[in-house]
Amino acid sequence: MMIKNNRANEIFAGSKDKNILIIGDIMMDEYLSGNVSRISPEAPVPVVEIARETVRFGGAANVALNIKSLGCEPLLIGLLGKDQMGENFTNLMQKSHLNTSGLVYSSQRPTTVKTRIIGDGQHIARVDKENKSNASLEEAEQLKHKIREIIAQADGVILQDYNKGVLTKEIITFTIEQCNQKRILVSVDPKFTNFMAYKNTTIFKPNVIEAQQAVARNFETEEEVEAAGFELMQKLNTESILLTRGKKGLSLFEKNKPVVHIPTQARKVADVSGAGDTVISTMTAACLGGATKQEAAILANIAAGVVVEEIGIVPIDKNKLLSTIES
């Protein structure tokens, strides 16, 4: 199951400058890195002397960065707190030449921040600052206003759900209805809480754990995987499902077509964080560039293999992706 370099170039040339609207949970990933030379006298924990502080886009913002790296134009809608990290996020968006018109600022919740403490190259702890409650009525109205305002510019939409409160059932239904009315491709990277609310979409990308929870059973064999995939397709009335299966790669389900199983492409896995963001971004961009869903899934699989070789959450580099594809 292959795709040639010239075909991949043709697809990405077709998706160049397409506007892709990403709606979902925005996060900041903060890394505090340093050296450990002693144990704290206050508790049996290491003391990390911080030498470097870095921040990166996380959550839906990482999807926006992937979309930008693939040559498309991301339009991001999500919630930030009226706090220092929200201001830092906006500044980082501007420095990265990303459109900030879809950002909604709330005094009711903080900006979601995942702080990772790293000592002597080892991950010691993670500290999360977040509010996972659903968007308030006021926040939801502001989000819907942004969606109405921006969706007219979009060639495709990605709903990126991390269960942090932006994608409520109301926002999900509202957005998908808008997309279907305007015949806009809509892709979904779901979480379990509102899993079954994502009906009538173009591409639905759960991981295997989420899919097992949704059908209320485990599956191991290829036959069990295929039965579950088609069951979900029927329940969700989606055009396609791209099931991510970790070391077993991807499985693509389409109506009236046989399942396509795509094995992993990673040569050396360093960090799987952010691989799902890369898969949904590449799949969506490739489909907008004229790829079949099978071609798009193959490219998404290769892209995931590239990013997991890097430490930390990083977007796909299109040139590096293309260089790994045989001519």
Answer with the residue of higher pLDDT: 287 or 17. 287
Question: Reduced to 3 states, what is the DSSP secondary structure of residue 167?
Answer: coil
Where does the pLDDT of residue 101 fall: very low under 50, low under 70, confident under 90, or very high at 90 and above?
very high
Output the pLDDT for position 324: 87
Specify the fold of 5-25+62-106+136-323.
Answer: UDP-N-acetylmuramoyl-L-alanine:D-glutamate ligase (3.40.1190)
CB 265, CB 1: distance < 8 Å: no
User: What's the pLDDT tens digit per position in 46-55?
Assistant: 999 999 999 9
What confidence score (pLDDT) does residue 311 get? 61
The amino acid at 23: I
231-241: string of b/e by CB count within 10 Å (b at 16+)? ebbeebebbbb
Residue 308 is predicted with a pLDDT of 66
Task: Verify whether residue 277 is a known catalytic residue.
Answer: yes
Q: What is the DSSP letter of 165?
A: S
Cβ atoms within 10 Å of 309's Cβ, excluding its own:
14
Highest mean pLDDT among 83-97, 263-277, 310-324: 83-97
pLDDT at 131 over 90: yes
pLDDT of residue 270: 47
For CA atoms 291, 293, 299, 303, give the dihedral sign.
positive
Give the list of residues 6+ apart from residue 301 with CB closer than 8 angstroms, or none: 249, 250, 262, 264, 265, 279
Q: What is the rounded CA–CA span in Å between residue 228 and residue 232?
A: 6
Mean pLDDT score, 238-255? 93
Name residue, tokens 């070789």.
Answer: 309
Of 21-30, 31-40, 74-83, 268-277, minimum mean pLDDT range:
268-277
* pLDDT band for position 325 (cuts 50, 70, 90): confident
Pairing of strands 250-254, 260-262: antiparallel
pLDDT band at 169 (very low <50, low <70, confident <90, very high): very high
> Residues in the chain, how many?
327
Q: Residue 227 — pLDDT band, cuts 50, 70, 90? A: very high
Residue among 302, 323, 292 at smallest CA distance from 11: 292
The answer to whether 285 and 278 have CB atoms below 8 angstroms apart is: no
Reported as a single tens digit per residue, the pLDDT across 258-297 is 999 998 865 666 455 668 899 999 999 999 999 999 999 9
pLDDT at 310: 66
- Which two tokens mark 249? 């790669």
CB 185 within 8 A of CB 288: yes
Structure tokens at 227: 């039965």
Name the token pair of 163: 């269960």
Exposed, middle or buried, 272 (CB in 10 Å: 0-12/13-18/19+)? middle
**Exposed (0-12), middle (13-18) or buried (19+): which is 38, by Cβ within 10 Å?**
exposed
The stretch 193-198 carries a mean pLDDT of 95
| Structure confidence at residue 307 (pLDDT) | 75
DSSP letter (8 states) at residue 245: -
CA atoms of 298 and 8, how far apart (whole Å):
10
Please give the pLDDT value at position 105: 97
Active-site residue identified among 120, 189, 277, 317: 277
